[in-house]
Amino acid sequence: MQSLKTWIHATVSVCLPAGHVIHLMDTRRLSRLWESEEGKDEMSATGVVQKLEQAGCSFVISVPWIYGTKTSAITAEQAARLLHDRESVYAEAAGLSVSEYMEWMELGGAVLCRETTKAGRPCRNPINGGTGLEPSTWKTMNDTGGYCAVHGG
């Protein structure tokens, strides 16, 4: 297994010429390395991130988005948490809480009608103008609520 020091050197040497950006896309690889005995001897995740930040690096991740992924800049603190708390870092990048982010993703950015059907179940139709929304717009519309075309929206 490649040592942590070697992995970081390879990543930094590739990314520094392109604007001081470290892409932490494959955190599974990094996580496996930190969990190994070799990685534990080298440095903690927080220590690595601090060293990279001191070297002038910034951190960018690909956040799962309703239409694929979105590149987002994150802080060094978020980069250190990414290995063990990925969902909260994704949610923060979207400007939502973890539960809101999960709901937004599950619904594909749609806001659902607040009415109930004749059968007594919640209507699952999107409200008018409430599909494929960016997180901030989705949150505002979801908090406000609304109705689909069938229920008077």
Beta carbons within 8 Å of 124's beta carbon, 6+ residues apart: 112, 113
pLDDT digits (tens, 9 = 90+) for 80-136: 888 788 899 999 999 999 999 999 999 999 999 999 999 999 999 999 999 999 999
pLDDT tens digits for 1-29? 333 333 333 232 223 333 434 444 344 45
Question: Would you say 100 and 93 are in contact if contact means Cβ atoms under 8 Å apart?
Answer: no
Q: Nearest 5 degrees, angle CA 19-CA 94-CA 138? A: 140
Rounded CA-CA distance 139/100 in Å is 8
Residue 34 pLDDT greater than 90, yes or no: no
Question: What pLDDT shows up at residue 11?
Answer: 30
Going by pLDDT thresholds of 50, 70 and 90, the confidence category of residue 49 is confident
pLDDT at 130: 92
Query: Which residues make Cβ contacts (< 8 Å) with residue 79, sequence separation at least 6?
Result: 22, 24, 49, 52, 59, 61
For position 36, what pLDDT does the model report? 53
Alpha carbons 14 and 140: distance in angstroms, whole number: 41
